[in-house]
């Protein structure tokens, strides 16, 4: 018999990359997380992770099982949400923070639809490329890219498979050509942005021969990632940022993807709460709603791995 809590811990461990990090997020002991995954492996009669003294990663079977495990967890959340919706409508104020590009161009229209579904909710939205402090600021949740550095917070995956994309406008490529390998970036104008007081100027890639990090340079930088995307569309240089933020531009031909998706840095997107006690019905509903919208957007323009 497969236990849903074991499946939940397996999914959280796959996202976190370790039993200890998954255990911290779920407020359980690391040994308990490991035991739950081992029990799931026994029930499935297969190894879901390959482990060594230094690392742990999904096995081939684990890679195949993970999407189905996510569907099981989604089904459980939807069932709980359906029961909650049947008991009472969502009301009150939902206070959110989101990064600039995602917040302005994707989240704003999505929140219109979400509030239309739940008219009893009031929304307060802060848009900023500074990392919001869930402990000190009056926020219910934040939308954030990247791996969660503070293990005391609770992260709910919105787009775990999202990656960065290296892109340029057709006009820029016509004038300057396209890079074919990371080292070529040193000869190009790379558009930089500041996230939480740190300049994003070391661009990382994963190639068949290993990881490469390139220190890039350029003549434009902003603390607003949306401005950097707009510069790229105008042909001012190369941009390297979340593919979710760039999909509409890629579909419209305003930008061109230059490197295979598998070579680009992961950029998982999460909805984050201060702790499990903040998981209100409104937050749970928003999590499922945004997760569906992210999945649909990524599926509308799948990445190509045969670029170049």
Q: What DSSP string runs through the chain?
A: ---HHHHHHHHHHHHHSSHHHHHHHHTS-HHHHHHHHHHHHHHHTS--EEE-SS-EEE-HHHHHHHHHHHHHHHHHHHHHHHHHHHH----EEEEEEE-HHHIIIIIHHHHHHHHHH-TTEEEEEEE-SSPP-TTTSS-SEEEEES--S-TTSEEEEEETT-BEEEEE-HHHHHHH---SSGGGGGGS-B-EEEETTEE--EEEEEETTEEEEEE---S-EES-HHHHHHHHHTTSSBEEEEHHHHHHHHHHTSSEE-S-GGGBPB--EEEEESSGGG--HHHHHHHHHHHHHHHHHHHHSPPPS---
Residues 119-144 have a mean pLDDT of 88
Can you give the residue ranges of every domain in the chain?
4-82, 91-160+267-300, 164-263
Residue 87 has pLDDT above 60, yes or no: no
Asked whether the domain spanning 164-263 has the same topology as the one spanning 91-160+267-300, the reply is: yes
The CATH architecture that domain 91-160+267-300 belongs to is 3-Layer(aba) Sandwich (3.40)
pLDDT digits 0-9 by tens, 232-273: 999 999 999 999 999 999 999 999 999 999 999 999 999 999
How crowded is residue 92: how many other Cβ atoms within 10 Å of its Cβ?
Answer: 12
Q: Does domain 164-263 have CATH number 3.40.50.2000?
A: no
| pTM score | 0.74
| pLDDT reported for residue 28 | 87
The CA-atom distances, in angstroms, between 14 and each of 8, 34, 67 are: 10, 12, 11
Q: How many degrees, rounded to 5, is the angle at CA 270 between CA 265 and CA 273?
A: 145
C-alpha 116/C-alpha 126 separation (Å) is 20
Q: pLDDT tens for residues 11-36?
A: 988 888 888 888 888 888 888 989 99
What are 138-150's pLDDT values in tens digits?
899 999 998 776 5
Q: How confident is the model at residue 39 (pLDDT cuts 50, 70, 90)?
A: very high
User: Over the Cα atoms of the chain, what is R_g?
Assistant: 20
Cβ–Cβ under 8 Å, residues 131 and 101:
no
Measure the CA–CA gap between 97 and 225, rounded to whole angstroms: 15
Residues in the chain: 308
For residue 122, what pLDDT is reported?
A: 94
Q: Which CATH number fits domain 4-82: 3.30.870.10, 1.10.1740.10, 3.40.630.10, 1.10.10.10?
A: 1.10.10.10
Q: What percent of the chain has pLDDT over 90?
A: 63
């Amino acid at each position: 018999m497969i236990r849903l809590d074991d499946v939940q811990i397996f999914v959280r461990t796959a996202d976190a990359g370790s039993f200890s990090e998954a255990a911290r997020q779920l407020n359980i002991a690391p040994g308990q997380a490991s035991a739950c995954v081992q029990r799931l492996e026994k029930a499935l009669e297969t190894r879901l992770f390959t482990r060594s003294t230094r690392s742990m990663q999904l096995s081939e079977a684990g890679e195949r099982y993970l999407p189905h495990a996510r569907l099981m967890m989604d089904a459980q959340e939807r069932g709980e949400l359906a029961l909650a919706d049947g008991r009472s409508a969502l009301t009150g104020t939902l206070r959110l923070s989101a990064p600039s590009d995602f917040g302005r161009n994707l989240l704003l229209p999505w929140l219109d639809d979400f509030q239309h579904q739940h008219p009893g909710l009031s929304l307060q939205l802060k848009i900023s490329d500074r990392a919001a402090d869930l402990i000190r600021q009056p926020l219910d949740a934040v939308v954030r890219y990247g791996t969660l550095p503070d293990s005391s917070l609770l992260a709910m995956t919105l787009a775990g498979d999202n990656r960065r994309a290296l892109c340029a406008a057709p006009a820029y490529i016509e004038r300057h050509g396209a890079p074919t390998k990371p080292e070529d970036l040193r000869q190009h104008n790379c558009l930089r942005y500041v996230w939480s007081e740190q300049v994003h100027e070391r661009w990382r890639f994963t190639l068949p021969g290993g990881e490469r990090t390139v220190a890039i340079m350029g003549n434009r930088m902003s603390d607003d990632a949306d401005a950097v995307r707009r510069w790229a569309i105008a042909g001012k240089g190369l941009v390297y940022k979340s593919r979710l933020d760039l999909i509409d531009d890629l579909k419209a031909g305003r930008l061109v993807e230059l490197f295979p998706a598998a070579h680009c840095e992961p950029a998982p997107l999460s909805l984050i709460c201060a702790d499990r006690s903040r998981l209100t019905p409104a937050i749970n509903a928003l999590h499922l709603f945004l997760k569906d919208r992210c999945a649909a957007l990524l599926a509308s323009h799948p990445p190509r791995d045969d670029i170049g």
